[in-house]
Structure 1
Amino acid sequence: MSLFSINQIRKTFTNGEVEEEILKGITLTLKEGEIIALVGASGSGKSTLLTIAAGLQSVTDGQIIFEGKNMSAMNQEEIRKIRASQFGFVFQFSHLVPFLTVEEQLQLMLDVSEYQLKKDEQKKEVNRMLELVGMNHRKNAYPSSLSGGEKQRVAIARALIHQPKVLFADEPTASLDSKRSKEVILLIRQLTKDLNITTLMVTHDKEMLAFADTIVKMSDGVIVHKKESIK
């Protein structure tokens, strides 16, 4: 089932008197339970596409359709509510709050999200998510005592604790060694399938592509190749 439709998206930046078109009519469909990997050289437009799909940047032209609604026509408050309730984010670095424990990182996300639960239900949900990412045994630990891979596991749990429908992952393994990179992408793939979410991921890591359902290669603001997995 189609969750997201990116229709003829164009994005232009103005630098002084010069206009530069970063995205040149991108069209892409994202399905539930699917990992889509965006690849391409630096400057190809893949990160711009991800941030536009996530409602973090506006479009110059075109439409972002999420669950049948045109996000491109929404105001900032309407977009913020969708991000807070339906989207999760994981970046190259975990960006964990240094003075909060693992458990408290997830608790904070529940407190600020649109996902309303009673306190006892919140605790159960935090424990459930930490179990899913294999970090329940470190729930009282602070970020300074965690490895890079453990921090990313917590970041993934935090991104999914409010039960979003889309996970946006921008270079989620770029700061990890090959062993921990594989562990993280395997975890993302498992959660994408088990929770039936959609994951849109930007990556330079070629090993991660084996775990994507669809690979979209970009160059100079256009899609030059799209490959769907036969798995």
Structure 2
Amino acid sequence: MAFFTVKEVKKVFTNGEVKEEILKGVNLSLNKGEITALVGASGSGKSTLLTIIAGLQSATDGEILFDGKDLILMNQEQIRKIRASQFGFVFQFAHLVPFLTVEEQLLLMLDVSETKLSKQAQKTEVNKLLMLVGMEHRKKAYPSSLSGGEKQRVAIARALIHQPKILFADEPTASLDSKRSKEVMELIRDLTKSLNITTLMVTHDEEMLPFTDQTIKMSDGLIVYNEKFMMELQEV
């Protein structure tokens, strides 16, 4: 059974008498321990779909089932609590707080997510995760002294410090060169597997697709190709 299921999700924007259908009935499923990539041209609906699944904007119709609960039926406070405790976010730019050290970035996230850990337990968790992303030796450094790849590693650690069940990544390698992009994708892949989380990623970079388990192509608000589904169909 899929861990995260999207059923007939639609999104319509209304401007006066003009209606624009951004999503036209999207269906997909996400599993634990897997990375799914959303690809497609600008305006295809992939970023809109990601933000709707992540609870950052509402859908016009459909179902979004997370752990058996429909996010579309929840109120804003219920969704906020799920985002804070169960979801992690990584974007194109790291958006680190300039006056906080690497360690403090993660400790702040633990405070925001309202975890019940003691201060010492928080520091232990921070050290463990920084070791996983290869940044433990830089925990006292400020963002201004970090490379682009290092900043993204910290951003990934910050997104995972509260142990979310799903990681949303919107163009996480777009601001990096080819070498650092592959390093960041290897890290996301390894953490997805080792932590058994679900990762949904929007990307335009086809070189990142070999690191994923499922590639979904969108066009004009619809899914036009699902690589994993087609492979499973061929095996039948």
* TM-score range relative to shorter protein: over 0.9
Secondary structure in 2 matching 1:21: strand
1:17 deviates by 2.0
Tell me, yes or no, if the aligned pair for 1:167 and 1:198 is still in contact at 8 Å. Answer: yes
Q: Show the counterpart of 1:211.
A: 211
Cα RMSD for the two superposed structures: 1.0
Q: Show the counterpart of 2:118.
A: 118
Secondary structure in 2 matching 1:42: coil
| Cα separation, 2, equivalents of 1:115 and 1:8 | 34
| Cα separation, 1, equivalents of 2:101 and 2:157 | 13
AA at the equivalent of 1:201: M
AA at the equivalent of 1:163: Q
Q: Show the counterpart of 2:201.
A: 201
TM-score (norm 2): 0.96
1:16 deviates by 3.0
Secondary structure in 1 matching 2:227: strand
Q: Show the counterpart of 2:158.
A: 158
Tell me, yes or no, if the aligned pair for 1:81 and 1:114 is still in contact at 8 Å. Answer: no
Q: Show the counterpart of 1:84.
A: 84
The answer to whether 1:49 aligns with 2:75 is no
Secondary structure in 1 matching 2:93: coil
The answer to whether 1:4 aligns with 2:4 is yes
Unaligned runs of 5+ in 1: none
Q: Percent identity?
A: 75
Deviations 1:49-104 (A, max 9, x none): 00000000111000111000011000000000000000000000000000000000
Q: Show the counterpart of 1:61.
A: 61
Q: Show the counterpart of 1:15.
A: 15
Secondary structure in 2 matching 1:32: coil
Deviations 1:183-202 (A, max 9, x none): 00000000000000000000
Q: Show the counterpart of 1:187.
A: 187
1:15 deviates by 2.3
Runs (4 or more) in structure 1 with deviation over 2 Å come to none
Q: Show the counterpart of 1:101.
A: 101
Secondary structure in 2 matching 1:13: strand
1:114 deviates by 3.3
| Cα separation, 1, equivalents of 2:119 and 2:144 | 27
Q: Show the counterpart of 2:234.
A: none
| Cα separation, 2, equivalents of 1:128 and 1:221 | 41
Number of positions where the alignment pairs a residue of Structure 1 with one of Structure 2: 230
Unaligned runs of 5+ in 2: 232-236
1:162 deviates by 0.2
1:2 deviates by 1.5
| Cα separation, 2, equivalents of 1:202 and 1:116 | 32
1:3 deviates by 1.2
Secondary structure in 2 matching 1:228: helix
Q: Show the counterpart of 2:70.
A: 70
Of the structure 1 ranges 183-192 and 110-119, higher mean CA displacement relative to structure 2 is found in 110-119
| Cα separation, 1, equivalents of 2:114 and 2:210 | 34
AA at the equivalent of 1:74: M
Q: Show the counterpart of 1:136.
A: 136
Secondary structure in 2 matching 1:106: helix
